[in-house]
Chain A
Amino acid sequence: MQTTAADPAILTRRVREMVDSGRILAARPLLGALKTLAVPGAELAEIEAQLLLREGRVAEALVVLDIAVAAAPEAVGLRLCRADARMRADDTAGAAGDAAEAVILDRTNPQAKAVLGVALIDLGQPLDALACLREAVAADPRHPAYRQALATAQERSGDPDAAAATLAAAIRLAPGLVALRTTAIMVAIRRRDFTGAAELAETARRDGVADACVFGLLGHSLSSLARHVEAAEAYAEALKLAPEDPYVRHLVSSAGVLPQGVRAPSEYLETVFDGYAARFESHLIGLGYRVPGLIRAALLAELGLTPDSPPDSQPVGPVLDLGCGTGLMGVVLSDLPLRPLVGVDLSDGMLAEARAKGLYDSLLKQDLETLLAETDQAWPVILAADVFCYFGALDAVLAQVHDRLADGGLCLFTVEECQDDDGWRLGRQGRYSHARAYVAAAVARAGLELATLRPEVLRWEADAPVSGLLVVAQRAMERGGDAG
């Protein structure tokens, strides 16, 4: 079979087209041919690195890029490619460095400014990012991704109005991009402007660019506006578009369309919180979130500790924080002699936030029921702050807690309270609530003693209190002579 396309220029162009359009399986075998035919240099290295990045081989791409950048430090394309690779490798500072270098090398390059802006957002410098992204948008106003990044920077720097306006302009520019729609809806939801969010979602539906996520957010917004029938319809549409998604299925069942499950699926929790981690704390604290404080106070009372106990007093521990999230319990317990502190959560995003606080001795990514089933440790303290709202029936998990508590060990948890039911029910936002009598009975069935069960306001939503229960349960001390 004759090779007649031996013209390296033609082949280079074809391979670049293939890489740019994501046809990596076609590009890969041609890269070898290209390396045989074409002169090695910045262009070839960039193509190879981009192919490696598309293939998810970030470390190998970085090796190629480091060599190529050293050989051609002024090649803007290589710098931008390495910035991309470094972002993927979580080296945000390195990425910012490359992007800054690219901006210096080519002051008119909007892509360089945009990449720098995105890196600066990740570095927590939204105001600097804002400047870069404004310039990028001015230089290339037709690029919706630049506008989307600008909106993020605006929101992070405390100007959600500007973010919403930027996104509206971006949507006019690229009405078919669903990512812009979801970003705009999320901005509205974070501002608790559910009417605006629902309108944005409805517009997306009318424009034919609504995916499962848009319908899910529409359902969320409508449900927050107490328009429950419409919310259920929106969730049903979401399920048609994402029929295999357990999160969406859970939303549909919480809206009463499907039979109820016993607990929210792990994938649901992971999805919800991964998407939510960055703003989880400010959102919750902004809502008047009281759970960590309540648990802290109860723990102090039960253990007879005071905040000014001497720091060298014998610590109690280990302490297991189930569903630790971003580590809010770690924050409120950090001044108490409770060590070591072990957190467990399903969401990488949440765990990353918790890790950044540096307050946990160990953080595990695991389903909490799996962890309880597998741990050999006897724990003197197990905490479940705002976690059992993702469980319907509590019997199984409380039985596991019982088995893993040390003799005399304490379990402190909160649940949202439902008034009109003897058991538990799945609420419209995908959270379970529990009846007081049910909780007391479940604690007893698990073999635990109920030390405290009292109503508390857990947080405020839309200026209304969300009432719940604070529970302290204790495993009885083993009596001597029982062991056999």
Chain B
Amino acid sequence: MPVEAALARLRAGAPEAALAALAALPDDHAPPARHAAIGMALLALGRVEEALAALRIAVALGETRPATMLNLALAEDRAGDAARGRALMQELKRLLPTWDEPCLRLAESLRRAGDASAAIAEYEHTLEVNPRRAEALLSLAALLMQRHEPARAQMLLLRCCAVTPAHAPTWDALGVALMLTGDAADAESAFDQAQRLAPADGTIALHRVEASMAAGTGEAELARLEQAAAADPLNAALLAARGTLLMHLGRRAEAVAVLEAATALAPDSPLATQALAHAMVAAARVGDAIPVLRRAVELAPDDAALRNNLAATLLRGQQHGEAREVLEGLLATHGDSLGVLCNLTNALVSLGLQDEGLATANRAVALAPGAPLAWRAMCNVLAYHPGVTGAGLLAAQRRIGDSLPRVPPPAREAARPRAADRRLRVGLLSATLKTHPVGWLTIAGFENLDPARFELVCLGQPPSEDAIQRRFRAAAAEWHVVDGEPTEALVPRLRALDLDILIDLGGYGDRGMMAACASRVAPMQVKWVGAQSHSSGLAEMDWFITDRWETPPGFEGLYTERLLRLPDGYVCYSPPAYAPDVGTLPALANGHVTFGCFNNLAKITPAVLAGWAAILARIPGARLVLKAHQFADAATRTRLLAAFPGIDPARIELRAGSPHRALLAQYNEIDIVLDPFPYSGGLTTCEALWMGVPTITMPGETFASRHSASHLSNLGLPDWVAADLGAYQDMAVRRAADLPALAALRAGLRARMKVSPLCDAPRFGRHLGEALRHAWRAQCAAAAAA
């Protein structure tokens, strides 16, 4: 019988051959059986709709064998009338109660339809009919794991392993189930078996890595993977697993290298590509990570978390415009989610679109009113928003502080008295103890703390060759890497360091660790530079380092912390040796004044642009140079130029980012810096001054609005501080009209700054030490009185 022969081929796993043989038969050859066989072959080939047509014909012609009926049911279920398909399966089940196939197919149909309870019941029924039916064992176990019943799942999977001992997914599933009950060592054995059966399977290899980390056998697994890779050098899964394991072990540079090798061998592997991207992000290689993440998104286009990661990395890589597009796309396709909304808020803030940012932050807060992340996004907008008030920002900051979870103190903890005059152990908590505004503005102060009175303990990012990080390392007695670990783990570790004072230098910024401060890790906690836009709003933050220009008398109510006012400025600038020499006043050669602002675009709000446009309108010929990373983006440039109606666009120059020395050199083309408001320049103002360019500023109520006022006052230039927008604009016009005065100021500014309190590191270090000691004594006195 030719039809029987074709079916035999089909059963032997050769549907193409079966179909070819059936197609070669004459039309009049046993039509019902032939159509049925054709339908089965098509179904096996995944051509479900054609299969459905053929099977319907067969049944219409009188073909009623159970196999045909079941195939019709499957085809109906997938491509036709699903209810009819399931009804057929039920009918077959009733007619042939000892046949396990209809129950299994019905269970699978229900599982696909999302009816887990009904599916579980059908799988259980299948196993009553045939206790060794592997598909039922495996699928039922998977459903039970989803319903948090891993122990039952394990029993089923052990049975399944006995039935199909050579089937890798079964062993893999057993390992996953064992991980869910915390049996990492047994899970490792199960994954080992799975990996022997499917050595090129990346998922299994990664599961095994997770198990080894949970079982504490990471180093042994690493050695095993190295050996295995040597024996099987083309196996990219082993390299991907090794790279992932190196990541878990904190060896990021090696992880990146090994994962690069894995992707070189398997450029189309989503697993290896994602692992490489994550390792690069963790290793702070943002620029390298972005194209890899783009590739990962290409390979797994439906992965929303991956897209959000791409956007977050684009934000770190200063590609805010593209980040915004990705995030808005995600919201359109996947709806509101907290992480996406917060990232979008930050993208909009960075683009200077504070109104849009505020609207998005409000969506985030509405979605998750108790989430610190939502309030962090809100505070991030408010600090830059033209409508901000000191009290308003404080209220929002308090919401972050209040919403952070607290890790309870250990039971035995009794505040033991500490001597007021002891050598103080001072912890510096930040992922930015390096070439970063935090580094430039604090390192000279720390270097000049009296080592006999203070012992510095850095709590920061992994060691690198960064020039300022090396200075922190040289100044510190200890360096502890704290890097992305969960707060519950970080808090006990920091508490065990027995610090007297903790200075937070990260705030709520990217990779900030204020969550640890909320759980109090030192008897005295101090907020200093590092996302220090205003009060932390955190009840556990005791002091806030400031000065009398940043927080004049009367500002105390805008802060939850006690104000620790240093006698000069609140920071000490450490100018780079590579700064170019100061040039002559460019206006003298140009014949017109050039204003400049090299601050981050986040600070350049529409209100700021309008204020500047009015100045340009009053000084014909004057030019304005703005410089920010975001100007690499054409849409952003167009939007900015449109903010100067009536001004010849040739008078506005928008420059993208450049290496630091080149940025400094460009101040030799600027006569006067216009400070943004309400978020003033901090380090940027110091750099402009070092390059001989004074800044016109307009302080407000928030801490961030007053940086330039503090720096200028410390240089003896308080007459560059304007009380309001009108005074600011008048000052710009007046200063621009007196080139000889500008030229003279410029010529002497660096020498003046070098000896001013802003750069006098020994003086600053002395004052910082005295202030910390004063605060510590007050803290001790309060503790003694309590």
Using a CB–CB cutoff of 8 Å, the interface residues on chain A facing chain B are: 1-6, 11, 14-15, 18, 23-30, 32-33, 35-37, 205-206, 208-210, 215, 237, 240-244
Are B261 and A1 in contact (CB-based, < 8 A)?
A: no
Residue B265 is within 8 A (CB to CB) of chain A in the complex: yes
**Given known A25-B253, A240-B471, A241-B577, contact A30–B261 (CB-CB < 8 A):** yes
Q: How distant is the Cα of A215 from the Cα of B467 in the complex, in angstroms?
A: 15
For A241, what are the chain B residues with a Cβ–Cβ distance below 8 Å? 467, 577
From known contacts A23-B257, A30-B261, infer whether A5 and B475 are also in contact, taking CB-CB under 8 Å: no
**Structural contact, B237 and A1, CB atoms closer than 8 A:** yes
A182 smallest CB distance to B (angstroms): 15
Other 6 A-B pairs with CB < 8 A, given A215-B577, A240-B577, A243-B474: A1-B262, A1-B271, A2-B268, A4-B267, A208-B580, A210-B577
Min C-beta distance of B286 to chain A, whole Å: 18
B84 CB, min distance to chain A CBs, angstroms: 39
Docked complex Cα distance between A1 and B473 (Å): 42
Check B268–A14 contact: CB distance below 8 A: no
Distance between Cα atoms of A237 and B253 in the complex (Å): 30
Determine whether the beta carbon of B470 is less than 8 Å from that of A244. Answer: yes
Rank and list the top 8 A-B pairs by shortest CB-CB distance, nearest first.
Answer: A32-B233, A25-B257, A243-B474, A1-B202, A26-B257, A208-B578, A1-B237, A26-B260
Name, among A4, A6, A29, A32, the residue most crowded by chain B CB atoms within 10 Å (CB to CB): A29
Whether the Cβ atoms of B200 and A1 lie closer than 8 Å is yes
**Shortest beta-carbon distance, A243 to chain B, in Å?**
3
- A244 CA / B474 CA spacing, docked (Å): 5
Report the nearest B residue to A31, measured CB to CB: B233
Residue of A nearest to B242 (CB): A29
Question: Which single residue of chain B is at the shortest CB-CB distance from A35?
Answer: B233
B261–A208 contact, CB under 8 A? no
B232-272 CB contacts (< 8 Å) to partner A: 233-237, 239-240, 242, 253-254, 256-258, 260-262, 264-269, 271-272
Q: How far is the CA of A29 from the CA of B262 in the complex (A)?
A: 9
Pick the contact of B261: A26, A206, A237 (CB < 8 A): A26
Query: Whole-angstrom distance between the alpha carbons of A18 and B260 in the complex?
Result: 10
Instruction: Find the A residue at minimum CB distance from B264.
Output: A14
Cβ of B271 to closest chain A Cβ, rounded Å:
7
Majority SS at the chain A contact face: helix
Distance from B250 Cβ to chain A, minimum over Cβ atoms (Å): 15
In the complex with contacts A32-B230, A33-B234, A244-B470, A5-B258 CB distance below 8 A: no
Residues of chain B contacted by A3 (CB below 8 angstroms): 200, 234-236, 265-266
A36 to B202: give the CA distance in the assembly, Å: 21
- 1/0 per residue, CB under 8 A from A, across B199-212: the answer is 01110010000000
B734 at the interface (CB under 8 A from A): no
Contacts of A14 in B (CB 8 A): 264
Q: Are B268 and A4 in contact (CB under 8 A)?
A: yes
7 contacts between A and B (CB under 8 A): A1-B269, A1-B272, A2-B268, A3-B236, A26-B260, A209-B578, A244-B474
- Complexed CA–CA distance, A11 and B234 (Å): 11
B546 CB to nearest A CB, Å: 26
Q: How far is the CB of A88 from chain B (nearest CB, A)?
A: 23
Complex Cα–Cα for A114 and B200 (A): 47
Partner of B473, one of A24, A36, A215, A244: A244
Q: Per a CB cutoff under 8 Å, which of A23, A210, A215, A243 touches B260?
A: A23
Query: Interface residues of B: mostly helix, strand, loop or mixed?
Result: helix
Task: Give Cα distance in the complex from A4 to B242, angstroms.
Answer: 19
Q: Which residues of B contact A27 (CB under 8 A)?
A: 261
In the bound complex, do residue B578 and residue A243 qualify as a contact, i.e. CB atoms below 8 Å apart?
no
Least CB distance from A296 to B in Å reads 44
How far is A28 from B266 in the complex, measured between Cα atoms in Å?
16
**B94 close to chain A: CB less than 8 A:** no
B229 at the interface (CB under 8 A from A): yes
Contact partners of B262 in chain A: CB under 8 A: 1
- A residues less than 8 Å from B577 (CB atoms): 205, 210, 215, 237, 240-241
Q: How far is the CB of B506 from chain A (nearest CB, A)?
A: 22
Contact between chains at A32 and B257 (CB < 8 Å) = no
Query: Once bound together, how far apart are the Cα atoms of A23 and B242, in whole Å?
Result: 17
Chain A residues within an 8 Å CB radius of B235: 1, 3
CA distance A239 to B641 in the complex (A): 45
User: How many Å from the CB of B133 to the closest CB on chain A?
Assistant: 30
Which A residues are in CB contact (< 8 Å) with B268? 2, 4
Name A244's closest neighbour in chain B (CB-CB).
Answer: B474
Using CB atoms, name the residue of chain A closest to B447. A243
Identify which of residues 466-518 in chain B touch chain A, using a CB-to-CB cut-off of 8 Å.
Answer: 467, 470-471, 473-475
**Across the two chains, which residue of chain A brings its CB closest to B229?**
A29
B581 at the interface (CB under 8 A from A): yes
Residue from A1, A15, A208, A215 in contact with B240 in the complex, judged by beta carbons closer than 8 Å? A1
Q: Is B766 an interface residue (CB 8 A)?
A: no
A415 CB to closest chain B CB (Å) equals: 31
**When A23-B260, A29-B258 are in contact, do A5 and B474 touch as well, CB less than 8 Å?**
no
Given contacts A5-B266, A26-B257, A210-B578, contact A37 B271 (CB under 8 A): no
Encoded as 1 (CB less than 8 Å from any A CB) or 0, chain B from 214 to 242 comes to 00000000000000011001111101101
B766 to chain A, nearest CB (A): 15
Which residues of chain A are within 8 angstroms of B112 by Cβ–Cβ distance?
Answer: none
Please indicate which of the listed interface residues B202, B234, B236, B473 has the most CB atoms of chain A within 10 Å of its own CB: B234
The B446-476 residues at the A interface (CB cut-off 8 A) are: 467, 470-471, 473-475
The reply to whether A205 and B236 form a contact with Cβ atoms under 8 Å apart is no
Residues of A within 8 A of B256 (CB): 26
For residue A36, which residues in chain B have a CB less than 8 angstroms away from its CB? 233-234
A18 to B268, CA, bound (A): 20
* Chain A CB within 8 A of B774 CB: no
Nearest to B470 among chain A residues (CB) is A243
A2 x B200 contact (CB < 8 A): yes
**B267 near A5 (CB under 8 angstroms)?**
yes
CA distance A244 to B256 in the complex (A): 28
B172 to chain A, nearest CB (A): 14
Are B234 and A26 in contact, with the CB atoms below 8 A?
Answer: no
Closest Cβ–Cβ distance, residue B241 to chain A (whole Å): 10
Within the assembled complex, what's the spacing in Å between the Cα atoms of A1 and B267?
10
Query: Taking each of B261, B267, B475, B574, which has the highest tally of chain A beta carbons within 10 Å of its own beta carbon?
Result: B261
B661 at the interface (CB under 8 A from A): yes
Q: Which chain A residues lie closer than 8 Å to B230 at the CB level?
A: 32
A264 CB to nearest B CB, Å: 18
CB-CB nearest in chain A for B239: A29
Residues in B whose Cβ lies below 8 Å from that of A37: 234
Asked whether A1 lies within 8 Å of B234 as measured between CB atoms, the reply is no
If A25-B257, A25-B258, A205-B578 touch, does A11 touch B264 (CB 8 Å cutoff)?
Answer: yes
B236's nearest neighbour on chain A, judged by CB, is A1
Given A1-B272, A2-B200, A244-B474, verify A25-B264 contact (CB < 8 Å). Answer: no
Q: Determine if B267 and A206 form an interchain contact, defined as CB atoms under 8 angstroms apart.
A: no
Name the CB-closest residue of A to B579.
A208
Asked if A33 and B253 make an inter-chain contact with CB atoms under 8 angstroms apart, the answer reads no
Is the CB–CB distance between A26 and B237 below 8 Å?
Answer: no
Give min CB distance, A348 to chain B, whole Å.
24
B272 contacts which chain A residues (CB < 8 A)?
1
A210 to B577, CA, bound (A): 8
**B661 x A208 contact (CB < 8 A):** yes
Asked whether, in the complex, the Cβ of B471 is within 8 Å of the Cβ of A243, the reply is yes
Residues of A within 8 A of B260 (CB): 18, 23, 26
Check if B258 sits within 8 Å of A206, measured CB to CB.
Answer: no
Q: Chain A nearest CB: distance from B253 CB in Å?
A: 7
Task: Determine if A206 and B473 form an interchain contact, defined as CB atoms under 8 angstroms apart.
Answer: no
In this complex, what residue of A is CB-closest to B258?
A: A29
With known contacts A25-B253, A37-B234, A5–B265 Cβ distance under 8 A: yes
Q: Pick from B239, B253, B269, B474: contact of A2, CB below 8 A.
A: B269
Whether the Cβ atoms of A1 and B266 lie closer than 8 Å is yes
A5 touches B264 (CB 8 A): yes
When chains A and B are docked, how far (Å) is the Cα of A407 from the Cα of B272?
74
Which residues of B sit under 8 angstroms from A215, Cβ to Cβ? 577
Say whether B233 contacts A33, CB under 8 Å: yes
Query: Residues 711-735 of chain B: 1 if any A CB is under 8 Å from the residue's CB, otherwise 0?
Result: 0000000000000000000000000
| Nearest-Cβ distance from residue B266 to partner chain A, whole angstroms | 5
